[in-house]
Amino acid sequence: MKKKKIKQTSELEDLGFAKIDHHRVKRKGFAEVIFCPGKTNNQIAAIFKKLAKKKNTVIATRATPENFKAVAKAFRKAVYHKEARIISLINLKQFPNSKSKKTKRMICVITAGTADIPVAEEAAVTTELLGNTTDRIYDVGVAGIHRLFNKLDRISQASVIIVIAGMEGALASVVAGLVQVPVIAVPTSIGYGASFKGLSALLTMMNSCAPGVAVVNIDNGFGAGVMAHTILGGK
């Protein structure tokens, strides 16, 4: 019995080491995102080129400076967001608000501490690259709760809030108890031994007594950013 040949459509591109899902932009509203760890510089650059060829805004997460150098050789307009560890190439026709920030609804990204900022930047840069207006409020954790209260006027303007915290992860519950919009909680691996590299914060957030809290994986700023974008309708 003859084997049937697998057809390669224009929306699925097989590079051998990767199968690029070009149809994803139609399903999700944005192109497939490159997760850099585990890939070689050449593989990242090759995938980046194929996505850019389709006139997409291209996003690569958890990227190193070396990964960026490989991409920048072919794309001078590519940008490396160092703190977020994201490489981006913006197509303003796809996301016209990526730079102009004219969207009425706003996403607020809040951290408990300064050490949580890298994960927060991954979330914030992701939301901005997807065309959202984003406000950052950093280092307002429960150890100095007055710092949070001083920012309530800004927080109250948000349509979705992303709260990022390590240690015991209590900030998400505090914020959710003060607002009426969805709160996406991101536990981080910041903390001492008994925090178990973010597990303590994860469990605290999942057991929140405040309604309206959804939790993503430890250090998953990208996942939180996409979820916030999706809650706002993905536009």
Q: Which of the four pLDDT bands, split at 50, 70 and 90, describes residue 6?
A: very low
- What pLDDT is stored for residue 26 in this prediction? 82
Return the structure tokens found at 205: 């957030």
- What pLDDT is stored for residue 104 in this prediction? 67
Pairing verdict, β 12-14 and 19-21: antiparallel
Q: What is the pLDDT of residues 85-101, one digit of tens each?
A: 999 998 755 555 555 44
Q: Which of the four pLDDT bands, split at 50, 70 and 90, describes residue 1?
A: very low
Q: What is the pLDDT of residues 151-175, one digit of tens each?
A: 999 999 999 999 999 999 999 999 9
> Is 142:112 a contact under the CB 8 Å cutoff?
yes
Has residue 34 got a pLDDT over 60?
yes
Higher pLDDT, 1 or 121: 121
Q: Where are the domains of the chain?
A: 12-89, 97-231
Domain 97-231 is of which CATH architecture?
3-Layer(aba) Sandwich (3.40)
